[in-house]
Amino acid sequence: MHTKKFFLLLVLAAACVAVAAAPSVTIQEWNLPVSRSLPHDPAVGPDGALWFTAMNANSIGRLDPKTGEIRDYPLKTPESGPHGLTADRKGNIWFTANYKGYIGRLDPRSGIVTEYALPDRAASDPHTPVFDAKGTLWFTVQSGNFVGSLDPDTGKITLKPLTTTNAHPYGIAVNRRGIPFFCEFGTNKIGSIDPVTMVITEFLLPEGARPRRLAITTDDIIYYTDFRRGYLGELNPVGGRIREWLSPGGEKSAPYGVAITQDGVVWYAETGIKPNMIVSFDRHTHKFERWPVPSGGGVIRNIAATSQGNIYIACSGANTVGVVWVTR
């Protein structure tokens, strides 16, 4: 009898912990000053600001979430098509010029933009950038089928072509060991590139999968969004074990942007749902929670996690950027 009571208390305690861990979420959005500017990717600045690319407006934008103030930084080359972006330790904003084949660096203090042209004409559409811990910038080139690196000190760019034809390298992230991993959106693979030898290793995903974005936990487990099949996937590069969970919105939910907060919760956007949904996934309990985006979202292509545990979003079709305020 005592054993049964003790077991029941454990079950009730576990249930209480699960309920207590459920996040309270509020989504706040700001309209952008230029209509149809196509905000594509958000990024977190060193000062906590929300930075974003505006592809159609040919500019980089900055939102102060505390005041709602938005500042616009026009690019000097017309129709550059700024796509992905990330900040360095000095506060510079680096971006991919998807339409003009260069990597850009914006100095927010002066507004000066420095351009680094890619050395191969075939690398015409740089896609997503990310810094490693040593300060090297890594990036994907989608249609050109490359993964590249840029040394900010020298400006030297190195390109590595993929052996898989039409792999369409897309989202990219770096693990704790300094190894970049990237989605091969044109096929059912995730790749990694050795930062020293530039040798590419590929991990085969289930048949029909199309990974679009990925994020990596502090223990180097990869979570990816399977845009075609409507799944959230988990890859352990050590041994190659793969697990999948059907997204709450189902097979047509089109999971897209994904990020992981410091508490280990996986966040992503369902973009095949109208309105778009923000989804959280507890990797320990495998429990999903989801919230509708007030503006509808119009395809949230990427998201970014802040050090405070909030999520920055860019809503391309709605012409807004926003914050998913998370309280636990």
Tokens 């709450």 — which residue? 248
Tokens 């990974």 — which residue? 211
**Band of pLDDT at residue 96, cut at 50, 70 and 90:** very high
User: Is 210 domain-assigned?
Assistant: yes
User: Is 63 domain-assigned?
Assistant: no
Report the amino acid identity of residue 203: F
Give 194-251 pLDDT, tens digit per residue: 999 999 999 999 999 999 999 999 999 999 999 999 999 999 999 999 999 999 999 9
Alpha-carbon span 131 to 53, nearest angstrom: 17
Total tally of structural domains belonging to the chain = 1
Pick from 136, 138, 260, 121: nearest CA to 193:
138
Query: Average pLDDT of the chain?
Result: 94
**What is the arithmetic mean of pLDDT over 308-321?**
98
Cα-based distances in Å from 136 to 46, 139, 234: 17, 10, 26
User: Is 137 domain-assigned?
Assistant: yes
Pick from 163, 159, 155, 81: nearest CA to 120:
159
Low-confidence winner among 21-25, 249-253, 299-303, 317-321 (lowest mean pLDDT): 21-25
User: Is 36 domain-assigned?
Assistant: no
Question: Which secondary structure element, helix H or strand E, spans residue 258, and what is its range?
Answer: strand 255-260
User: Is 53 domain-assigned?
Assistant: no
CB of 180 closer than 8 Å to CB of 146: no
Residue 17 phi, psi dihedral angles, 5° rounding: -65, -40
**What is the arithmetic mean of pLDDT over 266-278?**
98
Specify the 3-state DSSP secondary structure of 261: coil
Residue 50 confidence (pLDDT): 98
**Band of pLDDT at residue 328, cut at 50, 70 and 90:** confident
> How many residues are given for the chain?
328
pTM recorded for the entire structure: 0.93
Cα-based distances in Å from 325 to 24, 122, 314, 322: 8, 41, 14, 9
Give 61-83 pLDDT, tens digit per residue: 999 999 999 999 999 999 999 99
CATH of the domain at 215: 2.130.10.10
Query: Which residues, listed in sequence order, are joined to residue 292 by a DSSP beta bridge?
Result: 277
Give 110-168 pLDDT, tens digit per residue: 999 999 999 999 999 999 999 999 999 999 999 999 999 999 999 999 999 999 999 99
User: Is 52 domain-assigned?
Assistant: no
Full domain range(s) for residue 83 = 74-302
User: Is 276 domain-assigned?
Assistant: yes
Specify the 3-state DSSP secondary structure of 118: coil
User: Is 156 domain-assigned?
Assistant: yes
